[in-house]
Structure 1
Amino acid sequence: MTNQTLVIASSNPGKVREFEGLLNELALTVKAQPDGLEVEETGSTFSANARIKALAVAADTGEWALADDSGLSVDALDGAPGVHSARYAPSDPERIARLLKALEFEDDRRARFCAALCVAAPDGTVLLEVEGQCKGWITRSPRGDQGFGYDPIFEVEGTLKTFAEMSLQEKKSHGHRGRAFTLLEPRLQQLLSQQ
């Protein structure tokens, strides 16, 4: 086992690609979790779900694992879809359609993306945990073709762009995962230097 390998605890190819881009300057090998490994997200918070996934994938693979749980909280929907963001509907287009329908006659479209990151070791140790947020609002229709999930309908505060209209670098500096990663990166670098 080498601690310089970091398994991304996700079966979502878009999320794995995004993390590969965010982690490309660190001295480690990044790989996706094994096919067929499913971890049930039973936590009531983003942080709890990230911890559950990181610990399970680290134990299964014998490698360090990085998990995130992130989601969209919409003010007018009392924080929904929240921790159920990925399960709000079966596919990205259906999730977007359901959310736009729920907000069809709503003027208050304020929302925020939250991302909780957790790095765990195979021995059950939680090495790092951080959270990042990004404020914005839900657009009336999708814009852009980058990213995944709710990216085409979330306009980031102060940018006039949805996540789906941003480059990876823009998303890294403005996005919830990028903000969480900015907190995680120096601490992860320090851990790697101690190996």
Structure 2
Amino acid sequence: MKTLIVATSNPGKLRELQDYLTEIDWELQLKPKELEIEETGATFLDNACLKASQVAKTMGQWAIADDSGLAVDALGGAPGIYSARYGNTDQERIDRLLKEIGSNPNRKAQFICVIAIARPDGSIALNAKGVCQGEILIAPRGTKGFGYDPIFYVPTQQQTFAEMSPEVKHKISHRGKAFEILLPALKTLQD
């Protein structure tokens, strides 16, 4: 069984990634807490590759990283790569986003996720991008999930991410779509 180092110190992220990787024979491990990687990229792809590459080189093992966020049309794609840093708490981030959109009728948005896998030498072996189209609601709905989930409405499901069952969100989310692309290629790396 190959080991895949997850470029995060967050055990919740490790569990989430493990849920997507049940069909493959890789063991996931968290990166060491002391190994900090600054996200200096200009895009989700830059940041995912940067994190995967640095962790792989430092650890001398295969590594996986993702970078994701919310891009709102009315805000020119913001908060984008700064989604997690748009406020100190989920509520602050939601409040700021809703205030900045204001009464703009264009509520279109998309969640974007880019996943990168790096070889032990730091070179990128695979990457995949998943996008989930939706709209920003005027007020939060639902109690599941985290981050912007209560205000991100998916018209095809007629629910916010925070109202969806974990199984539905797992399948239709930006992360789910990125893994749908990545998994077949990842299975070939096992051989």
TM norm. shorter chain > 0.5: yes
- Point out where structure 1 has 5 or more consecutive residues left out of the alignment: none
SS at match of 1:179: helix
| Alignment partner, residue 44 of structure 2 | 46
| Alignment partner, residue 168 of structure 1 | 166
Alignment of structure 1 residues 3-22 onto 2, 5 Å: 4-22=2-20
Check conservation: 1:7, 1:64, Cα contact below 8 A.
yes
> Hey, what's the Cα distance between the residues in 2 that align with 1:42 and 1:6?
23
Q: CA RMSD in A?
A: 1.6
| Alignment partner, residue 81 of structure 1 | 79
2:35 paired with 1:37: yes
The aligned amino acid for 2:38 is E
> Hey, what's the Cα distance between the residues in 1 that align with 2:161 and 2:147?
10
**CA 1:31–1:68: 2 relative to 1, 3 Å:** same
> Hey, what's the Cα distance between the residues in 2 that align with 1:14 and 1:101?
29
> Hey, what's the Cα distance between the residues in 1 that align with 2:126 and 2:76?
30
2:187 paired with 1:189: yes
**CA 1:16–1:69: 2 relative to 1, 3 Å:** same
Q: Percent identity among equivalent residues?
A: 50
**CA 1:94–1:13: 2 relative to 1, 3 Å:** farther
SS at match of 1:164: coil
> Hey, what's the Cα distance between the residues in 2 that align with 1:109 and 1:43?
27
> Hey, what's the Cα distance between the residues in 1 that align with 2:139 and 2:11?
24
Alignment of structure 1 residues 19-168 onto 2, 5 Å: 19-168=17-166
SS at match of 1:147: coil
> Hey, what's the Cα distance between the residues in 1 that align with 2:12 and 2:108?
25
1:140-184 per-residue CA deviation (whole Å, 9 max, x = no partner) reads 222223222211211123111111222332122211110010000
Structure 1 residue 13, shift from structure 2 partner? 4.2
Check conservation: 2:7, 2:51, Cα contact below 8 A.
yes
- Point out where structure 2 has 5 or more consecutive residues left out of the alignment: none
Within the candidate set 178, 182, 187, 2:176 is matched to 178
* TM-score, normalization by structure 2: 0.93
**CA 1:154–1:12: 2 relative to 1, 3 Å:** farther
> Hey, what's the Cα distance between the residues in 1 that align with 2:14 and 2:145?
11
